[in-house]
Amino acid sequence: MVEIQGGNINRDQKSKGTIAVVASDLRSLVRSRLDLLLLFQKQGIKIKIFAPYVSYKDASYQKILRKYKIDLIKLSPFSKKRVFGKYFTVFRSFFRLIRLFKKNKITDVITVHGALSHFGILAAAWAGIEKRFSILGSAGLVVPPDTTLGKTKSWFHKKMLKRMGHLSTKILVQNQKDAKLLVKGNLVPQEKIVVVKGAGINLKNFKQEPLNQITPLTFLYVGRLNREKGFVEFCEAVQLVRKKYPGMIFNAIGGLARVPGKKKDYYQELALDSGVNYVGDVDDVLPYFKASHVVVLPSYGEATPKALSEALAIGRPIITTNVSGCEETVTPEKNGLLVHTHDPWAISQAMVYFIETPEKLQEMAMASRQLAEEEFDVKGVNTLITDTVFTYS
C-alpha cells in the first residue's frame, strides 16, 4: 500500500481539469513519481499517462496504474534500428500526441524528462493547451561531447531546450547547477525556472537500515551499466582495490546498455573480468542496499540520481562525483566522499578509505539519513511541484 506523500493544497486553488503526464519511460515514471501522481489524484485531478509501452518490461507497471485507476495511453516504443531511430519514433509520437490531447480534453501537460519532453511541450502548444510544465532531467547535455555525433545531438537538444523554455509555463530542474547552466546559456528565462530536489524519496518506504556488521565490506554500484554513469571507471577502480584488498565484495545492479560495435554483453563481461558481481536489473533494490556498506556512483552528470536519494534514506555512505546532481547528495567527509569524473584511481582510494577506517561508516550512515530527511523528503518535493502547477492552472 502506497501512502500518498505531499503537502496539503487549498481546495479552492485546485484545477478541475485533466492533466496529461508525458514520459519517455513508463517504468522510471512509476518508480520515481507515483507519489506525485497520487497526490494530484487526491486533489480531484484526473491523470492520464502518455508513454511508450513495451509489454515485456512495462506490464507490471501498467498493473500498478490500473490499481490506482490512472489511465495509460500507450505510445510507440522507441526504435533502435539506427542512430537516430529514437527521434523518428518521437516525431511520430508528436503528431499523435496533438490528436490525443484534443481527444482527451487535456487542460494541463507535464512532461517528465527524456526524449519526449521537448515534443510533449510542443504538442501541447499545437493542441492549444495553455498550461505546460516540464520536469527536466540533467541539462548537462547542452555541453557538446567530443564526438561529431555527440555535438550534433547536443546542438539539436540545445535548440529544443530553448524552444521548450519559450513555450513552457514553468520548467522544473533538479539542481542549482543545471538551473544556472540554462540561464547562462540563454536557453530558459530565470523567472520560468523552479528548482526541486529530484523526485524526492518516500521516507516511510525507505526507512533507515542498520549497517551490516558482517565483514568484508560490500560496495554497491546502482545505475545503468554504461560509460556515462561511470561504470567503466568503477570496474577499473575495483581492479585496483582488489590488488590490495582481494576479499572485498563489489556488487552492481542496473540495466545493461549497448555499446555500438561491441557485443551485447560487453558490460556484463567487463564486470565479470573486474571482479564485480552483476546482479541484474531488479525492481526491488532494498535488499541490495541493506546488504551494502557503501554506495558508489561515479557518474559524469545527473539531474538528481534516484539511487543516491535512496542510499541517503536508508543510511549509507556515498562515493560519487563532484558534478551537478551528484554532489548535492554528499557533504564531503560527513556522509561520503566526492571524486573527479574519469578517475578510477580516485574512486579506488575512496573505497580504500572506508576499508581502512571502518569506524567512519556508522557516523556517515547517520549523516546520510539526516540529509535525506532535511533535503530529499518527497513530501517537500511534491508540495513544490503541485503548488507550482496549481498556481498557474
CATH code of the domain containing 38: 3.40.50.2000
Buried b (16+ CB within 10 A) or exposed e, 340-375: ebebbebbbbbbbebbeeeeebeebbbbbbbbbeeb
Q: Which residues of the chain have pLDDT under 50?
A: 1-4, 9-14, 141
26 shares its domain with 164: yes
175 shares its domain with 242: no
Least Cα distance to 111 among 141, 75, 80 occurs for: 75
**How crowded is the C-beta side of 29, counted as CA atoms within 13 Å?**
31
pLDDT tens column, 302-314: 889 999 999 999 9
Do the beta carbons of residue 274 and residue 235 sit within 8 Å? yes
288 shares its domain with 258: yes
* Helix pair 116-126, 148-167: axis angle to 10 deg: 40
162 shares its domain with 249: no
What pLDDT does residue 85 have? 55
160 shares its domain with 195: yes
140 shares its domain with 264: no
Chain-wide mean pLDDT for the chain? Answer: 89
What pLDDT does residue 376 have? 95
Residue 247: exposed, middle, or buried by beta-carbon count in 10 A (0-12, 13-18, 19+)? exposed
Q: Is residue 1 part of a domain?
A: no
Q: Residue 161: give the domain boundaries.
A: 11-200+377-391
pLDDT tens column, 6-56: 555 444 444 568 999 999 999 999 999 999 999 999 999 999 999 998 877
CA 46 to chain centroid, in Å, comes to 25
34 shares its domain with 77: yes
Those residues with Cβ within 8 angstroms of residue 331's Cβ, 6 or more apart along the chain or in another chain: 367, 371
DSSP H or E stretch at residue 291 = helix 286-291
Provide the terminal-to-terminal Cα distance of the chain, rounded to the nearest Å: 30
What pLDDT does residue 257 have? 85
Q: How many domains does the chain have?
A: 2
